[in-house]
A and B are shown apart, each in its own frame.
Chain A
C-alpha cells in the first residue's frame, strides 16, 4: 500500500512527456518518470520514494522499439527485460538481464528502469558500457545522443526533466565473444554478491562490474592490467584488483574482504572463459 497519493499521466509522445514534467515540476508536484514502475511501488511503500505526479513512459512509441538500424541494434528504454530475453538479439544482454530479480518480475522491470534505478545493482547497464553504446536522451533542451561511457558515471547523469529514450549498440559488439557471471552468497536466487560481464574484442578483454561497489562501473585501468600479456595471469589479476574504485561494499550479502576474494576468482574465470589467460 502506497502511503501517498499521486496523479497519473500516460503520454504517447516524447515532447508531451517533457512538457508534462516541466509544468508539473513548476507546480512543485515532484514529478517522477516511470516505465515498469516497480521501484515506485517497492520504495514508495517504505517512504524511500515520493511523488505527487507519475509520468508513465511505456506508451511512447520511440521508447518501445527493438530493431536493427543499419549497423546498430536499437533498444527502447521501456522494453521489459522479459521481452529482451525472449527476443535474444544481444546474447550478453540476455544473459545479464536474465539474472535480474526473477522471471515474473522481469515481465514488469524495464531496461530504462533498471539502468536508472535507485537500487545500486543496475546490472543491465554493464553490456552497454562494454559495447561503447550510444544513449538517446530527451529533455527540455531537446534530444541528444551521447556515448554511454561519457554520461554514465556511477549512474546515468540525467538533468532534471530528462529521460532515457533509447540505446544503440554497434553490431560488432553484439557478435563478440562474451561471458556474464552472477555470484550470489548462496544458491541460485536472491541478491547478487558480484555480477561481472565481459566482452572480448580481438585480443582485448573488457570487463564491467556490479555489486562490488555501490554503483556499476567499467574501468579502463582495470582492463589495461588484465590485458597486459607480458605478465603472468596472477600478476595481471593482482594489478587489476589494485585499480578498483572505492568503496568496496561491506553488507549483509558479503564483507568487502569476501567480495575481493570472490572477485579475484571471477577475474580468473573471465580470462579463462574468454581464452585470454595466457
Chain B
C-alpha cells in the first residue's frame, strides 16, 4: 500500500496527514485528524451527512479524494464557532437524533454566505442535498429561514 504525505488546510490550520491517494477526504478528516463531526452515511454522495465546506462551497467529503483538497480551505463542523445557523438549529429544535445535523449545518452555512437573499426555491434546491431520517425538515427549514430573515 503506497502512502503519501499531504498538507491539508483544515479549520484554519495546516495539518499534515498520511493517506493513500485512494482515500476520501471524509476518511482523512475523521480517521487521520480525529474530526468526527462529518458523519459517514451512505459513502455514495446521496445522504449529505458528511458535508463540509471547501473554499466556501458545500462538499460531500465522501465524494472528494483527500489529495483533491490540497491547496483548498476545508471547514468542518468543528471549525464553526457560535454561528447564527448553529444557534438557529437549537432554537428551532432542528434535529432529533442529530446524525444529519453537522452536514445540514455546513450546507446551510454555505447557503447563507453565498445567497443571503435566498428565496424558497433556492433554499429547497440547496437543502435537497441532505437527508434527515427523522424527517425534521420543517424545523430545519425554519432554522435556515430565521437566519436569512435576520440578514
Contact = CB atoms under 8 A, between A and B. Distances in A.
Interface in B112-133: 124-126, 128-130
Interface string B61-87: 011110110000000000000000000
A223 interface: no
B59 interface: yes
Interface stretch (A1-9, A237-245, A268-276): A1-9
Nearest to A8: B21
Interface residues of A, number: 26
A189 interface: yes
Contact of B68 (A37, A44, A188): A37
A184 B63 CA distance: 24
Contacts of A98: 125
A267 interface: no
B20 interface: yes
Contacts of B24: 1-2, 41
Contacts of B51: 104
A250 B33 CA distance: 45
20 contacts: A1-B43, A2-B24, A5-B20, A5-B21, A8-B21, A38-B63, A42-B63, A44-B22, A45-B43, A101-B45, A102-B48, A103-B125, A103-B128, A104-B51, A104-B126, A105-B45, A105-B63, A105-B129, A108-B59, A188-B128
Given A6-B22, A8-B21, A37-B64, 9 more contacts: A2-B24, A4-B22, A37-B65, A41-B63, A54-B21, A103-B128, A104-B59, A104-B126, A108-B59
Interface of A: 1-2, 4-8, 37-38, 41-42, 44-45, 54, 56, 82, 98, 101-105, 107-108, 188-189
